[in-house]
Structure 1
Amino acid sequence: MIPGKYRTNPGRITPSNVNCGLHLVIQTSSVPEKNKVRFEQIELRLTKDSSFHNRLLQHDIEKNYSSRQGDHVYLGSSSMPSFPVLHRSSEEKILYSDRLTLERQKLTVCPVIDGEEHLRLLNFQHNFITRIQNISNLQSLIFLDLYDNQIEEISGLSTLRSLRVLLLGKNRIKKISNLDNLKSLDVLDLHGNQISKIENVSHLCDLRVLNLARNFLNDVDDLNGLSSLTELNLRHNQITSVRDVDNLPCLQRLFLSYNNISCFEDILCLADSNSLSDITLDGNPIAQESWYKHTILQHMMQLRQLDMKRITEEERRMASIVARKEEEKKRESHKQTLIKEKKRLTICNVARKWDMQQNRVTSGPSSSQDGKDSDVPSQDTCQLNGSGTCVYPEEPGSLDPVISTALQGLAVIENHLVEVDGDTLFLYGSGALESLDRNWSVQTAGLVTTVSFTFIEFDEIVQILPKLKIKFPNSLHLKFKETNLVMLQQFNALAQLRRIDQLTIDPQGNPVVNFTLWKYYVLFRLSHFSMQKINGTEVTQNDMIMAERLFGILAHVASSELPQYRLLSLLGEVRKKQFRYLLEGKGKKSGVVSEENNENKRLGGENTNRATLNYTTRDFYTEKLEEIKEKKKFCKTYIHDLVKEAAEINMKNESLQKLWPQMFIELVRDAVIEIRNKNSYMKLCLQRITDTK
């Protein structure tokens, strides 16, 4: 029965025929402050017992028995001086033969009740009784009311096997116990006590109503066996979680108001109950959440009332819509979680391969210079931004397959990762550089202003800088993390970009940062970019002046030592024209130098001296060496063939000079012999002519 639903007078018992049985509503009242009456109601349905039913009707139990001063009884002394003995007149016994009311009698102990073995209802409300005793002979008792006493322990009830209703509300009981023989119990009211745990009730298979409101319960469990329980009142406790409720097949009403339940997971078992129709959760932290009502209705579609309010079809429909949206959010969140996990594992894998590569490099002759950095990931785990460790995946395809539909803008391969997050393009692993060749949308490419390189050799990055300038024209900020920047000369390669406003060199994996003057060299070499920040620090005019003082002479020496053809090969078309102009002497006129500087600034180009400071990667240098070797080999072969051919011609000429005199004499002799007979010679010539035709 829902608290506060009925407004009958306190103590009144109202019978009515319900479901072919006796329907009783018993209300017990207390006056805690300023005459405010609060009710803890208990619903009782007794199977129809004709004799008891008719007797109650005949005695007009609609009368408010609490308004009487009690039955006309006499409490005399017994042979045991500590217990009073109860005596009723014969008229009282006839009029109220099966019930006895002793409320508000200031009793401190239960009196001895002799000759009343036929009693079925016994009321000790509002006394000072501390212990249940002297009622073991009342074996026909089905209703025992000890509300508002000072009882500390449940005892003295083992013989009352017929007891159906036991009301022990507002006492001092700390533990549920000694109910083993009360297997017929239908209603158990223990509200307003000091009970901290639900226990010793699993054998009460006929119990329908259990009231444990206003106790000290923290958890709800151990409810197995209460197969007939239809109503459970747990209001005003300190409950944080509920379990085993789904194992109660007949439970219809559950009152959990004013507890400490904060999330739906703490009462998840309620969603598995098929019988619950009424539930209250008001007064809990969970009831303050925006998703509270929709979530409850989504998981408990069979509910008729929530927090004492009937649920409408419109509320169910809205809950279904909200639940669908929440489910979509959860799926999306799940996808994003999987993506993040896959990303984390991929980065760990890239870090491991980078570590193995660096170990191979440092294990050679130069290993004594650097050694292994303690912050570099090991082969078993890797550290990401100092936030935690991760284990490398054994199988890259072992994650949830739903991730495949969520990998938009994120290319995950075993040894590299490419990700666009906001305006930043993240590249992990050397394989990520190949992504620059794919067809990037104009919108995505235009949004990228920062490019971050991690676990990639700088020499490999140099080779894709021209592509970077074309694919991402708005990239103004470069970040290098674990890129093996080891010497100042490598910064020369950045001059081929269109523009750089910011440069970030992470000390982790970039030994060049240990050089004291590295920032000044960057400012000097890339002065045509007018850089604004280096490693998050603003660049000042004094920094630019200091950079020029430190490295200005270096550029002058480098340019003066280069031959003209080499210098021209390093300059662009505009610079070549300017350089030729200077070489012709025309640039010596006054004002030409300043005009050149102005032109440099206008075009945003490099200074001629600085342009001579370039960087050639090891791979490029190796390729050049191979190319030079091939050219040398070709030239050597070509010259060898020429010399051989010339030698053969010379030998032939010398042989001809030796043989020619003899050959000439033989030719003259043969000709004279041939034309000696003129007629024969003519016939021979005509014959040759005829044969040729």
Structure 2
Amino acid sequence: MSAEDQTPNGSAHTNGTGSKPSTPQSSKSGWDGKLRVNKQAVLANPEALSDPDYSDEDAPPVEQIDADEDLLEGEEPETEHIELPSTCSSALVELELYDNLIKHIDGLEDFTELRSLDLSYNKLKHIKNVSTLKKLDHIYFVQNRISAIENLEQLTELVYLELGANRIKEIAGIETLTKLQSLWLGQNKISELKNLSTLTSLRTLSIQANRLTSLSGIETLPQLTELYVSDNRIPSLEPLAQNTKLEILDFQSNPISSLTGLENLTELENIWASSCEIEDFQEIERVLRDKKKLEEVYFEGNPVQKSGPVLYRNKVRLALPQVSKIDAAYVKVG
């Protein structure tokens, strides 16, 4: 399964409906960069309305009341397990079981030829029983209930790991995945960039719609070419000064008012900065005019656009004559 075929909020898993009409169309890797987080008042835990098994780990403990009788005695358990014929174990290389009711990863221990495993849109709470699947190079566990990255240490052939739309609070347990090229962690509860320095092959990192208040730690990944950190609470781009190989940078919907930190990022091609706090066209020109490879920029929703929407696009074009696309609209270069 490729990134284009998937969905979720802040991950790579489909071309779902984005909330920003001018969100970039696609990146080099084929992902459209859309946040897929509705810009409206929503419940923090909407799944609680429709999911009888929902539990919020941050909530206070609920008083337990002993039942008078076991009303489910003799009934088949609701939990869905993975059951596959053992005759497939030596030949199966790709398994997709997304959008089911699977609560446990089991029954796959002997499927040692697997290279791609997709259990997205299920009810997994833990990553378990995968240590024997040492040939896995792609994992998709999007939109589950996973709260920790665990039991992946032995899967050293992984190049693609997608855990978007879960309940993960900390980046951990992936230090041994030195071949990993793409890591998608959008729409979790991550507040800090850490334990990334050993991922020397990583090229794409997505931590959209999390709880980041700083980009500190990103300097341990100077080889990154794509970074997606939109919908966080990041105030400064200064930690990016050492990430000189970045080609695509998405920091939409953050309280960022300055482009300081991007001065030496000469490889930049796409900058997505919609709905930030940039209010000075001179700042845009100062930092980006010399970026010869820059093709598209997004500044819609910033003060520079809201204070003068009629002249805004023309001013951006004059400041950045090399750019061919401004907020999803193509412009004449030069």
What TM-score, normalized by structure 1, do the two folds share? Answer: 0.35
Structure having the higher helix fraction is 1
Give distance in 2, aligned partners of 1:259 and 1:37.
Answer: 21
RMSD: 3.0
Partner letter of residue 274 of structure 1? Answer: K
Residue in 1 that maps onto 2:7? 28
Identical columns (%): 24
Given the superposition, is the C-alpha separation of residues 233 and 204 from structure 1 closer, same or farther in structure 2, using an over 3 Å criterion? same
Displacement of 1:296: 2.0
Q: Which runs of 5+ in 1 are unaligned?
A: 1-11, 14-23, 46-58, 76-84, 317-693
CA contact (8 A) 1:74 1:87 kept: no
Displacement of 1:170: 0.3
Partner letter of residue 254 of structure 1? Answer: I
CA contact (8 A) 1:185 1:207 kept: yes
The match for 2:292 among 254, 270, 274 is: 274
**After superposition, where does 1:134-213 map in structure 2 within 5 Å?**
134-213=151-230
The match for 1:250 among 255, 264, 267 is: 267
Name the structure, 1 or 2, with higher relative contact order (CA <8 Å, separation 6+): 2
Given the superposition, is the C-alpha separation of residues 115 and 187 from structure 1 closer, same or farther in structure 2, using an over 3 Å criterion? same
Displacement of 1:66: 6.9
**After superposition, where does 1:223-262 map in structure 2 within 5 Å?**
223-262=240-279
CA contact (8 A) 1:29 1:37 kept: no
Tell me the alpha carbon deviations over residues 197-223 of structure 1, each in whole angstroms, 9 at most, x when there is no partner: 112122323311100011112222221
Give distance in 1, aligned partners of 2:99 and 2:146.
Answer: 20
Residue in 1 that maps onto 2:57? none
Displacement of 1:89: 7.2
Larger radius of gyration: 1
Paired residues in the alignment total 261
Residue in 2 that maps onto 1:286? 304
CA contact (8 A) 2:112 2:135 kept: no
CA contact (8 A) 2:206 2:229 kept: yes
Partner letter of residue 28 of structure 1? Answer: T
Displacement of 1:28: 2.5
Give the secondary-structure state (helix, strand or coil) at the position aligned to 1:296.
helix
Residue in 1 that maps onto 2:128? 111
Partner letter of residue 38 of structure 1? Answer: G
CA contact (8 A) 1:26 1:42 kept: no
**After superposition, where does 1:86-101 map in structure 2 within 5 Å?**
86-88=106-108, 94=113, 97-101=114-118
Question: Would you say 1:38 and 2:23 are equivalent positions?
Answer: no
Tell me the alpha carbon deviations over residues 238-273 of structure 1, each in whole angstroms, 9 at most, x when there is no partner: 221111223112110000011121122443312232
Partner letter of residue 202 of structure 1? Answer: E
Given the superposition, is the C-alpha separation of residues 230 and 298 from structure 1 closer, same or farther in structure 2, using an over 3 Å criterion? same
Partner letter of residue 257 of structure 2? Answer: T
Structure having the higher strand fraction is 1
CA contact (8 A) 1:28 1:147 kept: no
Partner letter of residue 302 of structure 2? Answer: N
Residue in 2 that maps onto 1:312? 332
Given the superposition, is the C-alpha separation of residues 205 and 218 from structure 1 closer, same or farther in structure 2, using an over 3 Å criterion? closer
Given the superposition, is the C-alpha separation of residues 302 and 26 from structure 1 closer, same or farther in structure 2, using an over 3 Å criterion? farther
Residue in 2 that maps onto 1:215? 232
Give distance in 2, aligned partners of 1:311 and 1:205.
Answer: 32
CA contact (8 A) 2:122 2:144 kept: yes
Tell me the alpha carbon deviations over residues 315-369 of structure 1, each in whole angstroms, 9 at most, x when there is no partner: x5xxxxxxxxxxxxxxxxxxxxxxxxxxxxxxxxxxxxxxxxxxxxxxxxxxxxx
Residue in 2 that maps onto 1:303? 323
Give the secondary-structure state (helix, strand or coil) at the position aligned to 1:223.
helix
Q: Which runs of 5+ in 2 are unaligned?
A: 11-15, 31-91
